[in-house]
């Protein structure tokens, strides 16, 4: 799996992973991070998720990272906001009041470019990456955010039934990546109606990392 896989998905608008509402687990559990208003929340591999609109509506500032410029153009169109666009290093930065989205390879995003963040909301990043990239991603995420607390949503299912993405990331793997840096607690687990992509019985799990 490489960048072209995701560019192709957005060019063909094969974006079944995009939801038409903010995620229920975000609305139910984000408050458990106990962030004051105006806190800056980092949303990695964000696409054009409506979770961003929800975070903005709750009075938070948002930073994001996304590979596809198509996704980010659509994000700002749907927010009805005209961004300022600039080049920062190897990335393109789309900015407006309360929102900064870095377009390009997330591994080109440094702590200096990102700036301070108060929390991470990972709904679709860890589960979008194959196993070897998840090792690199989790280390990079901790580095660029100074191990900010996280609300993270993952899937757990039999990977032999459905190859992914989204990939299965069970509790044991989450703890291998993050237990040295965080206290980890499961705050909600629900069965995926009809199974993941209608093929694999799966649970969707919401984790609090502090």
CA distance 197 to 84: 37
pLDDT at 36: 98
Which pLDDT band holds residue 19 (cuts at 50, 70, 90)? low
What three-state secondary structure class fits 67? coil
| Mean local confidence (pLDDT), 117-139 | 96
Higher pLDDT, 57 or 15: 57
pLDDT digits (tens, 9 = 90+) for 172-194: 999 999 999 999 999 999 999 99
pLDDT digits (tens, 9 = 90+) for 81-117: 999 999 999 999 999 999 999 999 999 999 999 999 9
| CATH class of residue range 3-11+21-209 | alpha beta
CA distance 188 to 72: 30
Which pLDDT band holds residue 62 (cuts at 50, 70, 90)? very high
Q: Could you tell me which residues are annotated as the binding site?
A: 10, 45, 66, 123
**Among the listed residues 102, 104, 103, 100, the one whose alpha carbon sits nearest the alpha carbon of residue 79:** 100
Q: Could you tell me which residues are annotated as the binding site for S-adenosyl-L-methionine?
A: 10, 45, 66, 123
In the predicted model, is pLDDT for residue 6 greater than 70?
Answer: no
Instruction: Report whether 191 contacts 33 (CB < 8 A).
Output: no
pLDDT at 21: 82
In which element (H, E) is residue 186 found? strand 184-191
| Mean local confidence (pLDDT), 139-151 | 98
Higher pLDDT, 2 or 163: 163
| Mean local confidence (pLDDT), 6-31 | 75
DSSP string, 38-63: T-EEEEET-TT-HHHHHHHHTT-EEE
pLDDT at 8: 72
């Amino acid at each position: 799996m490489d960048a072209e896989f995701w560019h192709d998905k957005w060019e063909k608008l094969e974006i079944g992973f995009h939801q038409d509402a903010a995620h229920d687990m975000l609305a139910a559990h984000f408050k458990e991070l106990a962030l004051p208003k105006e806190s800056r929340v980092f949303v990695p591999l964000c696409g054009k998720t409506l979770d961003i609109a929800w975070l903005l509506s709750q009075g938070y500032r948002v930073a994001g990272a996304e590979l596809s410029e198509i996704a980010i153009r659509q994000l700002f169109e749907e927010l009805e906001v005209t961004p300022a666009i600039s080049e920062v290093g190897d990335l393109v930065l789309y900015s407006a009041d309360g929102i900064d989205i870095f377009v390009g390879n997330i591994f080109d995003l440094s702590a200096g470019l990102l700036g301070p963040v108060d929390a991470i909301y990972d709904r679709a990043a860890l589960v979008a990456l194959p196993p070897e990239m998840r090792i690199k991603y989790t280390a990079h995420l901790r580095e660029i955010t100074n191990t900010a607390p996280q609300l993270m949503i993952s899937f757990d299912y039999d990977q032999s039934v459905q190859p992914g993405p989204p990939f299965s990331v069970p509790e044991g793997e989450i703890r291998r990546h993050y237990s040295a840096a965080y206290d980890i607690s499961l705050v909600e687990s629900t069965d995926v109606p009809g199974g993941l992509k209608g093929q694999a019985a799966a649970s969707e799990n919401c984790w609090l990392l502090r």
